[in-house]
Amino acid sequence: MITSLTRRAFTGASVGLAFAAGRPGLAIAAPSIAVLAIDADPPTLNPALSTDYATGDVGAKIFEGLIWLDRTYNPQPSLATQWQYAPDGTGWHFTLRDGVTWHDGKPFSADDVVFTFNEVLARFHPRTSGVLRAIGARVEAPDARTVQFTLAKGYAPFLVQMSVFDAPILPRHIYANTDILANPANQMPVGTGPFRFTNWTRGAAIHVQRNPAWWGDAAGLDEIVFQIVPQPANRSAGLETGEIDAVVDFYLPKPDEPRLMQEPNLQFRRGINIPAVYFLAFNTKRPAFARKASRQAVACAIDRDRLVRQVMRGLARPGYGAFGDGFKWLLDDADSYKRKYPLDPAQARQLLAQAGYDGKSVSLVYDAARPQLRATAQIVQDNLRAIGMPVELAPLERAVEMDRVFAKHDFDLTLQSYFSAGDPAIGYHRMYLTQIGDKALTNCTGFSDPDVDRQLAEAAIAPDRDHRAEIYRRLQVVLNEQLPSLVLFDEETVDFASRKLTGLWPAIDARDQWGGVRFAAN
Amino acid sequence: MRRILHAIPLLLAVILLNYGLIAATPGDPVTALVGDFPAPAAYRAQVRHDYGLDKPVPIQALRYLVRVLHGDLGYSFANRQPVVSLIAGRLLATLELVGTALAFASIAGVLLGAVSAQFGGGIFDRATRGALTVGYALPEFWVGQMLILCFAIWLGWLPSQGAHAIRGAAGGWAGIADGLRHLLLPAIALSLRYLALIARVTRTSILDVLGANFVLAARARGAGSIRVLFGHALRNAAAPVLNTIGFNLGFILAGSALVETVFGWPGIGRLLFDSIESRDYPTMLGILLLVSVCVVGANLLTDIVHRLVDPRVA
Amino acid sequence: MKRQGWMAAAWLIALVLAAVFAPAVANFDPYSGSADSLLPPFTQGHWFGTDDLGRDIWAETVFGARVSLIVGVSAALLGAIVGVAMGALAGWHRGAVDATLMRLTEFFQILPRFVLAMIVIALFGPGIGKVILVITVLAWPQTARMVRASVATLRRAPFVEAARIGGMPGSRVLMQEVVPNVLAPVIVLAAMDVAAAILLEAGLGFFGLGDPNLVSWGAMLNEAQQYLRSAWWMAVFPGATIALTVLAFNRLADVLNAGLDPRGRS
């Protein structure tokens, strides 16, 4: 009762407007408004400046990239309709869509793309700026409908980084010659996407409405409301009561998801996500894990199926190998953990003895604020105790933890999770590349193999996927044997929405491509 | 007046303790001021200079004192906001919760205590006293979890999280009703211990008063027992109740932090929990200071009001 | 009154025994889980059910008693010692010593205990020793004030005067004649302090500030919060144990108080 009351109170204003527009008494359709939950006010609504999750969520409705990635990672045309690349991967050529306008009515052109890359993405985007620098990208516009990229060296995942999250295209006429970080358009964005920004009530909600001038078929929803719901438990409760129409996995407490999957009024998409792995990194400079036999012992001792069942409530896949199993094209069953390291505490004890382990306790450092890591740490502690290796848990605040792991290297074991961002070369190579210095979120293990480095570099450049797969299979043979890090599980996300919505989630990222979403006619 | 003068050194000492915590933090005190955030080096250098951390300790402490007295509690990097405005934004929610809980605890506690005293020694009295002893032993946050379990999960009558409906606060009566539904469980969870305390205090003081001369005199004049109870006895019980609240404010605010965390209530307690989780030191210390000041203020106020209310303390 | 006193004592004795002989009392290892997670109570020999990692909640509750009792009893004991020392000094010497010490107690009394304890642990990292220390620092003033008042009156008592005139040095008079006579109410306060310390420790655990390598009731409730909807038993049992223990210590204080009160009032 209360629910329907608030729902009415909520839509009352818009209904009133429709009536005022002069169609009283008619059985007009109520405006179709979808309510999506986000966790907090985003720091900005400009996805070129921040990789904040909510920024990307709102931004992906308003802005567009040159391409978007479908559920199987195939690039689909967005602001670019065609693209070609030079055989060595150093040149990319994009043909832009005709007749695209910005939300303020100004025409879109190649100048906007060049400006966005040179003046905004290369300077401010947390991920893309580094990539553009590393590959030495130059961007030019030979004419108003063409953009040409020249790279100093090939870069296999180039296209993957052209999506709205890594390379949203901004309007040059609004940002040129301004202080980009302080531009008011960061709070009132102007994009080319299916929805345009209407208003933002801090701490409450952000509204976007259909862009009638969008180049595609007009969006199926009149309006999207991003409702700010700070309590995680409330976001799942809101889905159950119907107060919220859709929530992306990121905002939901893991323990609630199995229950939500049983809910008859909800639909969900499971396990289709940009791969991310949770892993246990060994400090190979410490006596306990200097030898590979002791690392292999740990691999034989940790019950990865139990981690999946109890920590992730079944919403994960047990560790497969050095790069997880998120990228199906690079897998090779013969050398997988399942073959090499089946759960076997007796074998583990033997390997430990062989490594000359002295029985001293080892430290396990992890980020205290993440409940999944705490549960994982407790199971690791339990499993290793069973083979005679006492583990001292050290949950630390994130900044302290990073300092201890990546700068001071003061740990024996640590739990980390790395996001692939769509390609092993973007997100996973850092786990194994030789690391000198104290850069955070890289290879903290002290493991260094020039041959591995060389092959990783080759895999990052090669534009041909079969060729890359071959390199990654060779690498897995070495890395699964050496085990500088043990991949514990691959995350499986579950995105939820009301059954009343159709046309959901065509993209790999659930936040992307909402133009085709609509309420089912009933 | 003397009382107020007395409170000033206490307040200064509290501020200095705050400074002491900053200075004693393992590692660089700038980190304690900034919080563990990758702040730009220039900002860190400025903080170091502003707080005079390159100066001797007494000067540092003095500078910190002056800053706090100017109402500057520092800047929260985690929230990109000055701590003062961050706390101010949450104050109302906590006042709403604590105020409701205390009002409920006082009214219900006094009634329960009075009735219990009236039936002194009887079954009702004994049962009530037993229940109160139990109530006083229950941890607020566990009571909160149990209330959620019963009334939100099993019965489904009341919401378990937040201060208003998910789609934002509605206007008018619907909005008020919605607010009350959200307020009910956390307010009960927070009030239980103080309800028990107040009822106990009320009962004892009424029993004392019921035997006192002026009550006997009132009875002798023919005043009915209800009138005696409410006219004389309750008025005299007001002072101890006030004391109970005034001198327990520190515990009540701490309880509020726990209850707010259980119910996702957007108040200062929840802010404290979040700031501890993210090791946002400026916010943590700002809240500590605020709570300490509230406690000093409450003690002072209690003393003053006590003098006005209680005829025996002149 | 009496019966309740006995019940409280019985519960506390049982608790202490359970804590001391925890490995024998708990039929499972509290740190070791199994595949059977989130089992409801009384299934497969798990009297209190199992938690999210398949650990036995009965075993965790029994082992959790160790942390709670150690923290509660040591903090109360240390608090009592410091409180008696401070109070006795202040009450005996009067003058400047008294004024300074009383100012100090006043300062510590206004500090918000729980908030300060949380912040200290957050700043300096978790650990049982630190928790005990913080609670002690915040718990002694009440004892000190009470002891001071009694010492100040006893100072003029005939037997004290007599001892002094008899040539006994001041410090010995204080230690042998005065302090033993003010200890009774200190014991009552200490019993209440144990209850308060156990509650505070549980609160810290609930905020995730407990020792990560030890099971504690507060930490159990912290983990239960996520699973309230699917496993009520994770919250009910540790919470009820805290409540009963706190209740028992409070009851014990009441009974002691009644027994020590010369007027024998209930």
d(CA A514, CA A349): 53
Best C119, C121, C142 residue to mutate vs chain B (most B CBs within 10 Å): C119
Tell me if A15 sits within 8 A of A29, measured CB to CB: no
Residue C264 has pLDDT above 60, yes or no: no
Residues A486 and A515 in one domain: no
B81 inside domain? no
d(CA C116, CA C114): 5
Residues of B with Cβ-Cβ distance to C247 under 8 angstroms: 133-134, 137
Arithmetic mean of pLDDT, C81-86: 93
Residue A176 has φ and ψ, to the nearest 5°, of -60, 140
B264 inside domain? yes
Number of domains in chain B: 2
Tell me if chain B has a CB within 8 Å of the CB of A520.
no
Best B166, B173, B262 residue to mutate vs chain A (most A CBs within 10 Å): B166
C120/B276 Cβ within 8 A: no
Number of domains in chain A: 3
Residues A285 and A433 in one domain: yes
Residues A202 and A317 in one domain: no
Residues A282 and A216 in one domain: no
Q: pLDDT tier at C262 (50, 70, 90 boundaries)?
A: low
A111 inside domain? yes
Q: What domain range is A68 assigned to?
A: 64-175
Nearest-by-CA chain B residue for C250: B137
Tell me if chain A has a CB within 8 Å of the CB of C212.
yes
CATH of the domain at C207: 1.10.3720.10
B280 inside domain? yes
Q: Which of C120, C221, C250 sits opposite B141 (nearest CB)?
A: C221
Tell me if chain C has a CB within 8 Å of the CB of B138.
yes
CATH of the domain at B133: 1.10.3720.10
| pLDDT tens sequence across C192-201 | 999 999 999 9
Q: What was the pLDDT predicted at A1?
A: 30
B78 inside domain? no
Tell me if C121 sits within 8 A of C61, measured CB to CB: no
d(CA A378, CA A49): 37
B139/C239 Cβ within 8 A: yes
Contacts of A59 by beta carbon, 8 Å cutoff, 6+ apart: A45, A46, A47, A164, A165, A168, A189, A191
Q: What domain range is B92 assigned to?
A: 87-309
| Boundary of a domain, candidates B41, B69, B97 | B69
B77 inside domain? no
| pLDDT tens sequence across A401-434 | 888 898 889 999 999 999 888 889 988 999 999 9
Q: What was the pLDDT predicted at A4?
A: 36
A310/C54 Cβ within 8 A: yes
Residues A440 and A416 in one domain: yes
A182 inside domain? no
Please report the ipTM that was assigned to this predicted complex: 0.87
B10/C115 Cβ within 8 A: no
d(CA A457, CA A485): 19
Tell me if chain A has a CB within 8 Å of the CB of C123.
no
| Coil/strand/helix, residue A25 | coil
Do β-strands A391-396 and A362-367 pair in parallel, antiparallel, or remain unpaired? parallel
Do β-strands A223-228 and A33-38 pair in parallel, antiparallel, or remain unpaired? parallel
Smallest Cα distance from B203 to chain C, Å: 13
B93 inside domain? yes
Q: Name the percent of chain B lying above pLDDT 90.
A: 15
Best B73, B141, B249, B272 residue to mutate vs chain C (most C CBs within 10 Å): B141
Residues of B with Cβ-Cβ distance to C235 under 8 angstroms: 142, 145-146, 149
A397/B36 Cβ within 8 A: yes
Number of domains in chain C: 1
C244/B17 Cβ within 8 A: no
The residue to which tokens 């620098």 are assigned:
A133
Residues B96 and B44 in one domain: no
| Coil/strand/helix, residue C21 | coil
C113/B251 Cβ within 8 A: yes
d(CA A302, CA A310): 13
- The tens place of each residue's pLDDT in chain A, 522 residues long, gives 333 333 333 333 333 333 333 333 344 557 899 999 998 888 889 999 888 899 999 999 999 999 999 998 889 999 999 999 888 888 999 999 999 999 999 999 999 999 999 999 998 888 888 889 888 999 999 999 999 999 998 888 899 899 999 999 999 999 999 988 889 999 999 999 999 999 998 778 899 999 999 999 999 999 999 998 877 888 888 898 888 999 999 999 888 999 999 999 999 999 889 899 999 999 999 999 999 999 999 999 999 999 999 999 999 999 999 999 999 999 989 999 999 999 999 999 999 999 999 999 999 999 887 888 999 999 999 999 999 999 999 988 777 788 889 888 999 999 999 988 888 998 899 999 998 777 778 899 999 999 999 999 999 988 788 999 999 999 999 999 999 999 999 999 999 999 999 999 999 999 999 999 999 875
A398/B162 Cβ within 8 A: no
Residues B144 and B216 in one domain: yes
**What is the number of CB-based contacts under 8 A between chain A and chain C?**
42
Tell me if chain C has a CB within 8 Å of the CB of B207.
no
d(CA A29, CA A522): 11
C20 inside domain? no
A180 inside domain? no
Q: What proportions of chain C, in percent to the nearest 5, are helix, strand and coil?
A: 75, 0, 25
Q: Which of A37, A233, A243 sits opposite B161 (nearest CB)?
A: A233
| pLDDT tens sequence across B251-295 | 888 899 999 988 988 899 888 888 887 777 788 888 988 988 888
Smallest Cα distance from A399 to chain B, Å: 6
Residue C19 has pLDDT above 80, yes or no: yes
Cβ neighbourhood burial of B32 (10 Å; 0-12, 13-18, 19+): buried
Residues of B with Cβ-Cβ distance to A231 under 8 angstroms: 161-162, 264
B144 inside domain? yes
Strand partners, A148: A93, A140
Residues A259 and A282 in one domain: no
Residues A483 and A368 in one domain: yes
Tell me if C170 sits within 8 A of C164, measured CB to CB: yes
| pLDDT tens sequence across B120-179 | 777 888 888 888 889 889 999 999 999 998 998 888 888 888 887 777 666 788 888 888
Phi/psi class of residue A493: alpha, beta or left (left: φ > 0; alpha: ψ in -120 to 50)? Answer: beta
d(CA B49, CA B26): 20
Q: What was the pLDDT predicted at A58?
A: 97
Tell me if chain A has a CB within 8 Å of the CB of B186.
no
Q: What was the pLDDT predicted at B213?
A: 61
Nearest-by-CA chain A residue for B160: A234
State both tokens at B298.
């409450």
Residues A209 and A110 in one domain: no
User: Read out DSSP for B20-43?
Assistant: HHHHHSSS-HHHHHH-SS---HHH
Q: Which of B17, B137, B255 sits opposite C247 (nearest CB)?
A: B137
First to last CA, chain B: 14
A2 inside domain? no
Q: What domain range is C226 assigned to?
A: 72-265
Contacts of A among chains (3+ CB pairs under 8 A): B, C
Residues A305 and A417 in one domain: yes
Residues A151 and A233 in one domain: no
Residues A375 and A389 in one domain: yes
Tell me if chain A has a CB within 8 Å of the CB of B277.
yes
Q: What was the pLDDT predicted at C230?
A: 85
Tell me if A413 sits within 8 A of A384, measured CB to CB: no
| pLDDT tens sequence across A120-131 | 999 888 888 888
Residue B192 has pLDDT above 80, yes or no: yes
Query: Could you say which DSSP state residue C170 is in?
Result: H
B31 inside domain? yes
Contacts of A147 by beta carbon, 8 Å cutoff, 6+ apart: A66, A80, A93, A94, A96, A110, A113, A114, A139, A140, A141
C241 inside domain? yes
Residues A163 and A237 in one domain: no
**What is the number of CB-based contacts under 8 A between chain A and chain B?**
65
Residues B199 and B241 in one domain: yes
Range picked from A435-444, B11-20, C6-15 for highest mean pLDDT: C6-15
